[in-house]
Amino acid sequence: MPPLLATVHAYRPEDLPALHDICVRTADAGRDSRHLYPDPDLMPSIFAAPYAALEPELTFVLDDGRGRARAFYDRLGFHEIAVPDPGPLTYLGRSTSLDGG
């Protein structure tokens, strides 16, 4: 049997369940988050589904060669990177501090 070939394809609506599953399985610093959040739709609704719904043409899926969306994200691991004086934290050009500064 030939080895499976992973491919990247544009997001399709039928990828949504796998997108949710990947998000739940990686939302605890790359590990499964079901023990942290009682609502399994919480993390996907914050971190993954909005991209697929609002910008589907900018959303891509890694397919493991079996026709299933798979995460390689959780195998990459997370590393803290020292950043000297990163400056103020912003989101979309706006300050994230409570005092607006």
Instruction: Give the whole-angstrom CA distance, residue 41 versus residue 24.
Output: 8
Residue closest to 43 by CA, chosen among 19, 14, 11: 19
3-class secondary structure, 92: coil
Mean of per-residue pLDDT scores for the chain: 77
DSSP 14: G
pLDDT in tens, 36-49: 988 989 999 988 88
C-alpha closest to that of 15 among 39, 38, 42, 44: 44
Record the tokens describing residue 37, joined without a space: 């959040």
Q: What's the predicted TM-score (pTM) here?
A: 0.59
